[in-house]
């Protein structure tokens, strides 16, 4: 079985600063994918970044990077130069072949960016 | 815009009723996933279809059913609705090849969701 844990229910950051959102996972699969999604107040789920379990380099997508530490089973999201529009819920998720690639989500972290 | 469409956007109905939620995946995507987001349960996987066939089931109630049609759109049917069924229902699609393929865990793109309110 797979499990995602996000221990930070809420975080706040000053505009233009960097912030790290924590995510740990548990799985017995050797091959899996880790994802971060953003959910603004409007409700849609926006894909941000992906990391494969065999990828040696940390994934980056613009201001988003994923700090992947396989031995520690962590996949933290780093947002650099925060913007007011980054205020939203952020979900960490994973999928694995054994689970038919369904996404298992964490409880989410609500990020508030202050001017 | 993810390319995934869902209708209707909002649905208000009464307990005991039946509703159908519709999803059109991104062009070329063969996999469709349904998720339920509620305040008490969070985001939960319900069911997956791949090219018309059911592939995986999650915490889907027996009162709920789904199908994927030859044109790859999918419908989620919810019957004998209860107050606790009120939630945001998402459809997501991916180009995944089911349980194998070069990128078997590729990203899923979500539709805007259908907000169901059961009164």
DSSP structure string for A25-70:
EE-S-SSEEEEEEEE-TT---EEEEEEETT--SPPEETTEEEEEET
Q: How close is the nearest chain B Cα to the Cα of A7, in Å?
A: 14
B44-84 pLDDT, tens digit per residue, is: 999 999 899 998 899 899 999 999 999 999 999 999 999 99
CB A38 within 8 A of CB A105: no
The answer, yes or no, to whether residue B17 has pLDDT greater than 90, is yes
For range B28-54, the mean pLDDT = 92
pLDDT given for residue B99 in this prediction: 47
The rounded percent of chain B whose pLDDT value lies above 90 is 75
Contact call for B108 and A47, based on CB within 8 A = yes
In Å, how far are A13, A15, A37, A79, B20 from A65, measured between CA atoms?
17, 17, 13, 7, 38
pLDDT band at B105, cuts 50/70/90?
low
The answer, yes or no, to whether residue B6 has pLDDT greater than 50, is yes
> Average pLDDT over chain A, rounded to whole?
93
Label residue B98 left, alpha or beta by phi (over 0 means left) and psi (-120 to 50 means alpha): left
Pick from B108, B113, B114 the residue to mutate for testing the A interface (most A CBs within 10 Å): B108
For range B100-119, the mean pLDDT = 79
Task: Measure CB to CB from residue A47 to each of B99, B100, B107 and give the nearest one.
Answer: B107
List the structure tokens of A20.
């790290």
- Chain B residues close to A46, C-beta within 8 Å: 2, 110
Contact call for A101 and B100, based on CB within 8 A = no
Contact call for B42 and A105, based on CB within 8 A = yes
Residue of B nearest to A45 (CA): B110
Residue of B nearest to A109 (CA): B42
- Chain B residues close to A105, C-beta within 8 Å: 42-44
A68-110 pLDDT, tens digit per residue, is: 999 999 999 999 999 999 999 999 999 887 777 789 999 999 9
**CA A4 – CA B60 distance, rounded (Å):** 20
For range B97-111, the mean pLDDT = 63
Q: How close is the nearest chain B Cα to the Cα of A22, in Å?
A: 18
pLDDT given for residue B63 in this prediction: 96
């Amino acid at each position: 079985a797979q499990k995602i844990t996000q221990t930070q229910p809420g975080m706040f950051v000053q505009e233009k600063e960097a912030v790290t959102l924590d995510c740990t996972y548990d799985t017995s699969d050797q091959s899996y994918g880790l994802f971060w999604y953003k959910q603004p107040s409007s409700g849609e789920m926006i894909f941000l970044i992906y990391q494969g379990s065999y990828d040696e380099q940390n994934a980056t997508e613009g201001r988003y990077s994923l700090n992947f530490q396989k031995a520690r089973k962590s996949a933290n999201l780093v947002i650099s130069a925060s913007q007011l529009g980054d205020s939203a819920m952020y979900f960490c998720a994973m999928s694995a072949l054994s689970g038919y690639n369904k996404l298992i989500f964490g409880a989410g972290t609500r990020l508030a960016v202050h001017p | 815009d993810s390319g995934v469409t869902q209708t209707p956007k909002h649905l208000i109905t009464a307990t005991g009723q039946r509703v159908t939620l519709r999803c059109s995946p991104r062009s070329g995507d063969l996999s469709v996933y349904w998720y339920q987001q509620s305040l008490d349960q969070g985001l939960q996987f319900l069911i997956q279809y791949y090219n018309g066939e059911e592939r995986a089931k999650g915490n889907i109630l027996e009162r709920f059913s789904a199908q994927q049609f030859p044109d790859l759109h999918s419908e989620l049917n919810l019957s004998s609705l209860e107050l606790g069924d009120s939630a945001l229902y998402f459809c997501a699609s991916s180009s995944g090849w089911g349980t194998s393929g070069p990128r078997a865990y590729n990203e899923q793109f979500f539709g805007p969701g259908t907000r169901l309110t059961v009164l």
